[in-house]
Structure 1
Amino acid sequence: MLTPCLSSLVPTVFTMFALLVTSGCTGKGPVEPRREVPASEPTSQPAKTEAPVPGGLGWVMTSGSVQLEVLPQFEVLDRRSGTLDVHLLLRLRGMGEAVGERPPLDLAVVLDRSGSMAGEKLLAVKQATLDLLKELKPHDRLTLIAYDNDVEVLAEHVLVDDAGRKAARKAVLGIETRGGTALGPALFRGFEAFDPKTRKEDELRHLLLLSDGQANEGEKDPLVLGQRARENFGLGVSVSTLGVGLDYNEELMTRLADQGGGRYHFIPGTDAISRVLSDEFAGLVATVASGLEVTMQMAPGVQVRQVYGYSWQESPQGASILVGSLAAQQVREIVVRLQVNFGTGSTGQLALGTVALKAKDQTQQGRPVDGKLALSVPTSVDAEEIRRAERTEVTVRVAEVESAAQLQAAAVAVDGGDYDKARQVLKDSVLALEKQQKATPSPKLSKQIEELKEAESGLDAARKSTEQAKIYGKQSKAKAYKMGK
């Protein structure tokens, strides 16, 4: 049941989500985060509720530089069965334009110089790093680490003024290949360069990790390394990973990027290293919101079962979803699958729980922003009403992320040499998408169908050699990763 002050926001009974902001009806902002500031300084920007999302059920909230929409796949839930899967689409958008004078950047570049990097790879990495240095400004800071069996800090937290830039260039040009791959220790040393005590709210802290091989010195467990990345994300440090060639561990590299709130890049050849680094840097400096995390607290009888494409941690009451950053006008669409258990005698409106966000607004010197939506949705036993209640844009997105998971599964099957399984997974996914395309025609689904058919046709080439199988696996996993985002 809607509170009196909220009911004025709902124009008709068919606008089905109830929207509440943490401040209730007082007009005040959300609960203030814990940090010491002068009494006159507001600790966060209040969330602004807006009109219902056009086209049906759903609400939009803007909090600083982040806009959040919550859209259900069905605007009316079918309570005829005791248990129901419910999909929600969480759409996050970076608001406004990139700041004119970007915030200071504290950047750590962690480079693999193991023996396998010899030749063109190392030359390309050096060139790309030198190009990156050109883009840094005198107020930025740089940490440069090279690793093989050992970890060497070539520069640590130095200002990129003329002297700092000159020293960094000399260090980059002096890197030579040798030894193994102490990726874990190098990552840990990179994190140590970011001292939490010196952190500034308006500063972007980011770590770039590049590798072409398997971690074989020190800590190697992807779960342990991923957890360390997540811990540092909580301290304001994001992580992006760049995998070069065909021999690195993409499970580790994707996990680090997901847990670190950054991006994962597959670089098949040396000619793409400079372009990918440039793209990564361009996205970084266009950031309008950083440290973005979404928390879901579910009502009794409602559980989070799956979050597609993003790192998440389950809790007894819901889930925490690590998003990372948003560039100006960038859109991230997160599909969440809930399981709803209808209680005996359930009728009318059903409370699902709340969706909350928190982030740093980089257009306002890193000021914290937060907000919360309380979601409820009507239920019905009328089959025709339920059929008409489908929001097809959400259905299409659900089909996209589910087929991305199937593409990932096919790539894993190829890694294990089970080509028949990979082919069947892809055929089944194409059939499911073609069926969905007939029901809800969409250019997105057409593109997805073509990509899956292309992946199926590529299986024959993958059978021919170990190298072709590696190419297939890494390319397919990289596509699946991007489709899930």
Structure 2
Amino acid sequence: MNQGDTPRSNDPKPEDPPPPKLVDKSTFVTGKTLMVEGRLGHSRMLADARGETFLFVDVRSELDQVNQAGARSGFEPLNLAVVIDHSGSMKGQRERNAIDAAAGMIRRLRDGDTVSVVSYAEQAKVVIPVTTISSASRERLIREMLDGVNDPPSGNTCISCGIDLGMRTLSGRRAGIDRMLLLSDGEANRGVQDEGGMRVVARQARNRGATISSIGVDVDYNERLMSAIAREANGRHYFSETGENLEQIFDEELDSLVTAIAKDGKLVVELAPGVRVAEVLDRSYQQVDRRVIVPMGTFAVGEEKTFLIRLEVPPSPVGERPVAAVTFSYDDLAGREPGECFGELAANMTATPSEVSPLDAIVLGRLSRSETARTLEQANVLFAQGRTAEAQATVDAHLSEIKERREAAGLLTKAKDFFDPFGRDLDDEFNKQAGVLDEANAGFVEAESAPEPAAASRPGKAQVRRNAAQADAFSL
């Protein structure tokens, strides 16, 4: 065709180039001593519409990547403060069990570790000041502890007094891993008494580098306060119905300390412009502009900690939509250097509703854990109000959801593009949740057969506290 000629209709037209293929950036895995997985709830979202998704982070040390014996031999001094309730309700076998457990822990501490023991009632006192463990001091410290709590337990309960004094003893230690074990069998009726105030006390301890694990003894302690302290200070909450398993609980805590491979873990999620926080589930956090900052504390060999946040995503055009950048920093005790992991997450926006992805199976499992914890807490409130039938109905409703989600997750994991870097057993995870919910309802039924009101009966009180401890475990 000559210049100026009109193109004929049957001349071939140049084809539009195909749209670039979008890369899936809805997951990442990175790390060395600690492995960090980031995951969006939806890899594909609807374009030009306001949407919601979840962002999930899993931080763990993999046993096949870190030699456990090597972690034990890498010496990081432990600074342990044992804070024991010495109020009137701790008379008799309860306190003897607590002292025996503390003595056993002191015997297992390594030379070079430090320990202090504090007792509290209406006020707190130092039973053993900060002392470095050695072959010469170990048995002497146990004798001093026995002498220091020789007077009969008496008075009211100031839990915050015990925490404050325990933290003051830890402030005199050398650099290392700081842990407080807090025992109580009663209600806080002196000092800080409300949950909000107790969270502030625990947060202050956490900000000073200490983890607090709380242990409720018998069935009359305030499980909400003790659980809140542990969650706020990156610890665990335990329930000891009789006190006979206190030594086992102390051993579990010590095992996590002597196999610690990282400390001062901090997760920072920086949201992309326009993305907003709808809800942070389970964990304490701070938000500064677009950054969500989550302290995660110390990690032992084989330990896993997770974070889940629900996000609002604004209307976005077709194509890749950045959601967040994830940074996890920590003090690497295995490599003796600072550690840092980084990853970015983005969703692919599509104009076709049928292409929108269902909620990711792994995120679904973690969301279900959070909702199971919430269900147990809601059932406890209803049961305490004498509304046992409503408590059971709440548990039953979530049990039905668990079964449906287990089936849905099973189908999702069979998809050809599903990838799980850690090989999780999601079916087992859902079964554990269902088992705990079944036990909760069975405990409520047993309490109904007691001669006194169900919520005031020993079986009822014990079940409420078991539920609180299980809710704490599901929230980690």
Band the TM-score falls in, shorter-chain normalisation:
0.7 to 0.9
Moved more, 311-320 or 114-123: 311-320
- Structure 1 counterpart of 2:38: 70
Unpaired runs of 5+ residues, structure 2, are 1-19, 411-426
Q: Tell me if structure 2 keeps the 8 A contact 1:304–1:314.
A: no
Give secondary structure in 2 for the equivalent of 1:214.
Answer: coil
- Structure 1 counterpart of 2:469: 478
CA distance in 1, matches of 2:251, 2:194: 30
What residue identity is the alignment partner of 1:104? Answer: P
CA distance in 2, matches of 1:280, 1:291: 17
CA distance in 1, matches of 2:111, 2:365: 46
User: Is 1:149 the counterpart of 2:118 in the alignment?
Assistant: no
Give the alignment partner of residue 453 of structure 1, picking from 421, 438, 451.
438
User: Is 1:329 the counterpart of 2:302 in the alignment?
Assistant: yes
CA distance in 2, matches of 1:146, 1:262: 20
User: Is 1:170 the counterpart of 2:143 in the alignment?
Assistant: yes
Query: Following TM superposition, by how much is the alpha carbon of 1:14 offset from its aligned partner in structure 2, in angstroms?
Result: 5.2
User: Is 1:242 the counterpart of 2:195 in the alignment?
Assistant: no
- Structure 2 counterpart of 1:26: none
CA distance in 2, matches of 1:158, 1:451: 41
What residue identity is the alignment partner of 2:445? Answer: D
Query: Following TM superposition, by how much is the alpha carbon of 1:85 offset from its aligned partner in structure 2, in angstroms?
Result: 2.0
Query: Following TM superposition, by how much is the alpha carbon of 1:163 offset from its aligned partner in structure 2, in angstroms?
Result: 4.2
Query: Following TM superposition, by how much is the alpha carbon of 1:315 offset from its aligned partner in structure 2, in angstroms?
Result: 4.0
- Structure 1 counterpart of 2:350: 380
Query: Following TM superposition, by how much is the alpha carbon of 1:390 offset from its aligned partner in structure 2, in angstroms?
Result: 4.8
Question: Are the structure 2 counterparts of residues 483 and 374 from structure 1 closer, same or farther at C-alpha, using a change threshold of 3 Å?
Answer: same
- CA-to-aligned-CA distance 1:144-167 (integer Å, 9 cap, x gap): 111112211122211112443233
Give secondary structure in 2 for the equivalent of 1:143.
Answer: strand
Q: Tell me if structure 2 keeps the 8 A contact 1:15–1:58.
A: no
Query: Following TM superposition, by how much is the alpha carbon of 1:133 offset from its aligned partner in structure 2, in angstroms?
Result: 1.0
Give the alignment partner of residue 188 of structure 1, picking from 164, 180, 187.
164
- Structure 1 counterpart of 2:113: 140
Question: Are the structure 2 counterparts of residues 199 and 236 from structure 1 closer, same or farther at C-alpha, using a change threshold of 3 Å?
Answer: farther
- Structure 2 counterpart of 1:423: 392
Query: Following TM superposition, by how much is the alpha carbon of 1:139 offset from its aligned partner in structure 2, in angstroms?
Result: 0.7
- Structure 2 counterpart of 1:288: 261
Moved more, 86-95 or 268-277: 86-95
Paired-residue identity, %:
23
User: Is 1:391 the counterpart of 2:391 in the alignment?
Assistant: no
Moved more, 454-463 or 241-250: 454-463
CA distance in 2, matches of 1:225, 1:285: 28
Query: Following TM superposition, by how much is the alpha carbon of 1:116 offset from its aligned partner in structure 2, in angstroms?
Result: 0.9
Give secondary structure in 2 for the equivalent of 1:458.
Answer: helix
Q: Tell me if structure 2 keeps the 8 A contact 1:94–1:289.
A: no
Question: Are the structure 2 counterparts of residues 408 and 154 from structure 1 closer, same or farther at C-alpha, using a change threshold of 3 Å?
Answer: same
What residue identity is the alignment partner of 1:302? Answer: V
User: Is 1:368 the counterpart of 2:329 in the alignment?
Assistant: no
CA distance in 1, matches of 2:114, 2:24: 49
What residue identity is the alignment partner of 2:59? Answer: L
Give secondary structure in 1 for the equivalent of 2:244.
Answer: helix
Q: Tell me if structure 2 keeps the 8 A contact 1:102–1:286.
A: no
Question: Are the structure 2 counterparts of residues 223 and 70 from structure 1 closer, same or farther at C-alpha, using a change threshold of 3 Å?
Answer: same
Q: Tell me if structure 2 keeps the 8 A contact 1:233–1:291.
A: no
Give the alignment partner of residue 87 of structure 1, picking from 54, 77, 94.
54
Question: Are the structure 2 counterparts of residues 351 and 418 from structure 1 closer, same or farther at C-alpha, using a change threshold of 3 Å?
Answer: same
- Taking structure 2 as the reference length, the TM-score comes to 0.84
Tell me the C-alpha RMSD between the 2 structures.
2.2
Query: Following TM superposition, by how much is the alpha carbon of 1:475 offset from its aligned partner in structure 2, in angstroms?
Result: 1.0
- CA-to-aligned-CA distance 1:26-47 (integer Å, 9 cap, x gap): xxxxxxxxxxxxxxxxxxxxxx
What residue identity is the alignment partner of 1:447? Answer: K
Q: Tell me if structure 1 keeps the 8 A contact 2:78–2:113.
A: yes
Q: Tell me if structure 1 keeps the 8 A contact 2:48–2:315.
A: no
CA distance in 2, matches of 1:171, 1:474: 33
- Structure 1 counterpart of 2:329: 358
Question: Are the structure 2 counterparts of residues 154 and 443 from structure 1 closer, same or farther at C-alpha, using a change threshold of 3 Å?
Answer: closer
Q: Tell me if structure 2 keeps the 8 A contact 1:243–1:265.
A: yes
- Structure 2 counterpart of 1:339: 312
CA distance in 2, matches of 1:217, 1:163: 38
CA distance in 2, matches of 1:308, 1:259: 13
Question: Are the structure 2 counterparts of residues 218 and 444 from structure 1 closer, same or farther at C-alpha, using a change threshold of 3 Å?
Answer: closer
Unpaired runs of 5+ residues, structure 1, are 1-11, 18-56
What residue identity is the alignment partner of 2:33? Answer: S
Give the alignment partner of residue 301 of structure 1, picking from 274, 289, 292.
274
Question: Are the structure 2 counterparts of residues 300 and 145 from structure 1 closer, same or farther at C-alpha, using a change threshold of 3 Å?
Answer: same
Give the alignment partner of residue 373 of structure 2, picking from 401, 404, 428.
404
Query: Following TM superposition, by how much is the alpha carbon of 1:209 offset from its aligned partner in structure 2, in angstroms?
Result: 0.9
CA distance in 1, matches of 2:199, 2:470: 21
Q: Tell me if structure 2 keeps the 8 A contact 1:210–1:242.
A: yes
Question: Are the structure 2 counterparts of residues 412 and 318 from structure 1 closer, same or farther at C-alpha, using a change threshold of 3 Å?
Answer: farther
- CA-to-aligned-CA distance 1:8-39 (integer Å, 9 cap, x gap): xxxx945422xxxxxxxxxxxxxxxxxxxxxx
What residue identity is the alignment partner of 1:471? Answer: A
What residue identity is the alignment partner of 1:333? Answer: T
- CA-to-aligned-CA distance 1:275-306 (integer Å, 9 cap, x gap): 11111111111111112121222122212223
Query: Following TM superposition, by how much is the alpha carbon of 1:112 offset from its aligned partner in structure 2, in angstroms?
Result: 0.9
User: Is 1:469 the counterpart of 2:460 in the alignment?
Assistant: yes
Question: Are the structure 2 counterparts of residues 312 and 412 from structure 1 closer, same or farther at C-alpha, using a change threshold of 3 Å?
Answer: farther
Instruction: Compare CA radii of gyration and give the structure with the larger one.
Output: 2
